[in-house]
Structure 1
Amino acid sequence: MQEKVACTNWKRVMIVLSQNLKAPDGAPYLDPLDIPLTMIHNSTLHKTFNKLWMRFGRYSRPLMHHKLKNYTKFLFVRDPFVRLISAFRDKFVKPDEYFYNMYGSVMLRRYANISEPPDSVKEAFAEGIRLSFTHFIKYLLDPQTEEEKPFNEHWQQMYRLCHPCQIEYDFIGKLETLDEDTEHLLKILGLDNYIHFPPGYENRTALDWEQEWFANISVADRRKLYRLYETDFRLFEYDKPETLLDE
């Protein structure tokens, strides 16, 4: 599932549809909003290609090809720059120990001139040490970043994460029109009378926040960032952010 594009709610819906996860009373969850967040993001509960490979070995590839040919395949996308803002807000503005240890402390050392960042995000926040959006953008633009390891899925380019040129998706929706698109998709799947997609949340990162978030990013870096995500802008028909790039 595409991270930062209503992924949590789609996981909720999939859990309800699978009926594999049981509530405390022993019955399958019927309402997506009843499912605890700890279960939604517990990777051990979800079927992935890696698990398919572990179970079926060399037979997993033809099985996956069969699924790709016969199952309904859908993808939800989001304005690439807004998705980056959302990823930063979710993983670095809030205290997230994993993302601090894996990425935040690295960014603080490289771009904030902090040679020895605190050992934990709790300590860092207590000392007033916060990663800035500027540091995050410098990390994305630094060639050293991907030389060391691929982008994390929360900021990986959508075309590289979901391979729309290799997979013939039956439906591509957008987060900006999430309510209408999910309603239409559930009708296509014949599930509109069985389940309702959870409503969008008020704290969703808005498109009109771009100007504020990119205020401290140089125009040169904005243009580099656009080139880094240009394929996503073009492939999924998002307007080029001219006001950010032409200042």
Structure 2
Amino acid sequence: MSNFLVDPTKTFGICFNHKVASTSISEIFAELYNITNMIPENDFYRLQKYVNPKNFEEFIKLKKFTIVRHPIERLYSAYRDKIKKESDSYARKRFYLEQKRLGKSSNPSFEDFARFVLSQKYSEMDSHWRPYAYNCNPCQVDYDGILKLETLNQDWQWLQQQTNVSLPLKHLNKRKTGLIKS
């Protein structure tokens, strides 16, 4: 339940996955709750404490949705955004410490990153590359819809029809990694 963002009317929830329109979804929920001070700072990590289901009874009444992305596209996006781009994120620090311990290059390849991810236990993985099954429990949660990033504009219109809530997608990062061919 901790990965679910719930609308203020307690009608629906979206299981949140990083690197899958997460900024767009976060912006929408911040606006729905009128806590837009997070938007300029891109400080959405605090959002979940405001918009999670409060209890199991609330959770089971929700229409439930999640959004997925091709797993290799998602992993490459995490590599590009969290490892290659200069930042002081915990994920990046942890990765580079492991690289140093292994005597690896300070300019890691995607293959190095993939090996690092595969060497981790799910419970230890950063949320930006942890598998959907661990974040959103699709075998235990009866989802009303699973939307795909690759078709999100159409899928989002369908979600709005299902929830009777107007939620415009403003910031959809259309940058593709180019790894997966249509």
TM-score by length of 1: 0.59
Paired position in structure 1 for 2:32: 17
Match of 1:168 among 142, 161, 176: 142
Please say if residues 75 and 172 of structure 1, whose CA atoms lie closer than 8 Å, have aligned partners that are also in contact.
yes
| C-alpha displacement of 1:45 | 4.1
Paired position in structure 2 for 1:135: 112
| C-alpha displacement of 1:140 | 2.1
| Structure with greater Cα Rg | 1
Paired position in structure 2 for 1:97: 88
Q: Separation in 2 of the partners of 1:15 and 1:6?
A: 14
- Runs of 4+ off more than 6 Å: none
Cα RMSD (Å): 2.7
Paired position in structure 2 for 1:35: 39
| C-alpha displacement of 1:96 | 1.8
Q: Separation in 1 of the partners of 2:148 and 2:63?
A: 17
1:2 aligns with 2:6: no
Match of 2:160 among 163, 178, 186: 186
Please say if residues 86 and 205 of structure 1, whose CA atoms lie closer than 8 Å, have aligned partners that are also in contact.
yes
| C-alpha displacement of 1:199 | 4.8
Paired position in structure 2 for 1:28: none
TM-score by length of 2: 0.78
Structure of higher RCO (CA pairs closer than 8 Å, 6+ residues apart) = 2
Q: Give ranges in structure 1 of 5+ residues lacking alignment.
A: 24-33, 53-59, 115-128, 210-247
| C-alpha displacement of 1:107 | 2.4
Paired position in structure 2 for 1:197: 169
Equivalenced residue count is 166
Match of 1:157 among 131, 141, 149: 131
Q: Separation in 1 of the partners of 2:39 and 2:93?
A: 28
Q: Give ranges in structure 2 of 5+ residues lacking alignment.
A: 1-15
Q: Separation in 1 of the partners of 2:77 and 2:47?
A: 25
| C-alpha displacement of 1:200 | 2.8
Higher strand proportion, which one? Answer: 2
Higher helix proportion, which one? Answer: 1
Please say if residues 74 and 172 of structure 1, whose CA atoms lie closer than 8 Å, have aligned partners that are also in contact.
yes
